[in-house]
Amino acid sequence: MLILGIESSCDETAAAVLKDGTVLLSDVIASQIDVHCKYGGVVPELASRKHVEAILPVVQEALSLAGVPLSRIDGLAVTNGPGLVGSLLVGLSFVKAVSLATRIPYVGVDHLAGHLLSVFLGPDKPTFPYVALVVSGGHSSIFQVTDPLSYRLLGRTRDDAAGEAFDKVAKLLGLSYPGGPAIAALAARGDAKAIPFPRAWLEAESLDFSFSGIKTAVVNYVAQQQPSTKIPPAEYLNLPDICASFQEAVAEVLVEKTLRAARDTGAENIVLAGGVAANQRLRQLIEERGQQNGFKVFLPLPRFCTDNGAMIALAGHHNFTAGKTLAYDMDVYSRSKVIAGCAWPGPNA
């Protein structure tokens, strides 16, 4: 079965062709970083316009690299939520038009479901069930995954997502967008113990996250050190130490709560996913702590951490296998139905 997966939930236009749910024939991504970096974040209207420009060339390239004409595609899979509504509409409208013209059936894929399964695109694959930590610019959640279509939400952020906190701290420090790579690069030269930034553990046994407090702590620290509002942060701050200390505080909370979730559910396997899963310190720490606690940790290849069409094609493959398709009046949604449809035990469970 050949699946063409299309992703346009935020600022990457992506398409991929997947064969039989296991063989990736092509994977093409058109990034918009150059468009949004001068604004310090994604501008939704600009993102939508760039998707309109890029989606046809990206799909054509994905088919060309796969050596597969559109007529041989058995199913179309498209992200229809969550994300920026304007961006999502570009992908969904494109797939609807192709489906109407060719009669190729299509399925919608929840963006988080794609991330939860992205580890299967690499060589080291977990067995079900497993606990998955999904961390990105818009999401910080822990799930119990019992099969490719069944997820139980165990914890989620109550305010800022981890990636969002990285971006906001980077902007405060005068670093480039996106903030995650910029902070990680400086952190590699810093002392993670230099500044005791707080860890938000919340209530006892809570698996929820909160990163607004550490963001505020960095703001206060910078303000206390600042001799004048006219002086750039790089001239009076030890940026490597700040970045390393901030990164460590975020990574420690993410990892320890994921380990607790694995213990609570009796899972033997832990999976890391999402854009922030490309962070080397987070990957190192979760592997170290997982091994120390007797868990096997599975990490997606860095190329599959950020938004991509391959993970959408994979999730779409499982939807097709289960007999799921979409009606032509199906719309996009901004909030994840994976989270909304999960049996979330709540913050005090």
Q: What is the mean pLDDT of residues 191-218?
A: 95
Select from 227, 237, 229, 230 the least CA-distant residue to 175.
Answer: 237
Percent of the chain past pLDDT 70, that is, above it, reads 97
* SS3 (DSSP) at 13: strand
CATH 3.30.420.40 applies to domain 123-299? yes
Confidence of residue 342 (pLDDT cuts 50, 70, 90): low
Confidence tier at 69 by pLDDT (50, 70, 90):
very high
pLDDT digits (tens, 9 = 90+) for 75-119: 999 999 999 999 999 999 999 999 999 999 999 999 999 999 999
Count of C-beta atoms within a 10 Å radius of residue 306: 24
**What's the pLDDT score for residue 246?**
98
Q: Are 5 and 18 in contact (CB under 8 A)?
A: yes
Q: Give pLDDT tens digits for 112-134.
A: 999 999 999 999 999 999 999 99
CATH of 2-116+305-335, one of 3.30.420.40, 3.40.930.10, 3.40.50.300, 3.40.630.10: 3.30.420.40
Amino acid at the residue 284: Q
Domain span(s) for CATH 3.30.420.40 in the chain: 2-116+305-335, 123-299
- What share of the chain in percent tops pLDDT 90? 85
Lookup: tokens for 69 = 């004409």
Question: What phi and psi, each to the nearest 5 degrees, are found at residue 305?
Answer: -80, -45
pLDDT (average), residues 155-163: 93
Which whole number is the average pLDDT over 54-71?
98
**Better-predicted residue by pLDDT, 229 or 166:** 166
Specify the pLDDT at position 334.
83
| 227 compared with 140, residue with greater pLDDT | 140
Q: Is the pLDDT of residue 343 over 50?
A: no
What pLDDT, on a 0 to 100 scale, did the predictor assign at position 347? 36
Contacts for 195-203: CB closer than 8 Å, 24+ residues apart? 195/221, 195/241, 195/242, 195/245, 195/246, 196/245, 197/221, 197/245, 197/246, 197/249, 198/249, 199/249, 199/252, 199/253, 200/253, 201/253, 202/158, 202/347, 203/347, 203/348
Residue 92 carries which side chain, given as an amino acid letter? Answer: L
- In this predicted structure, the answer to whether residue 349 has a pLDDT above a threshold of 60 is no
For residues 308 and 222, what is the distance between their CA atoms, to the nearest angstrom?
A: 36
Structure tokens at 50: 């760039």
Measured CA distances, 325 to 186, 192, 266, 322, 333 (Å): 46, 48, 34, 9, 17
- What pLDDT, on a 0 to 100 scale, did the predictor assign at position 326? 81
Please, what is the average pLDDT of the chain? 93
Q: What is the pLDDT of residue 341?
A: 54
- Burial class of residue 274, CB neighbours in 10 A (0-12, 13-18, 19+): buried
pLDDT digits (tens, 9 = 90+) for 245-296: 999 999 999 999 999 999 999 999 999 999 999 999 999 999 999 999 999 9
| Entry pTM | 0.92
What is the reported pLDDT for 344? 38
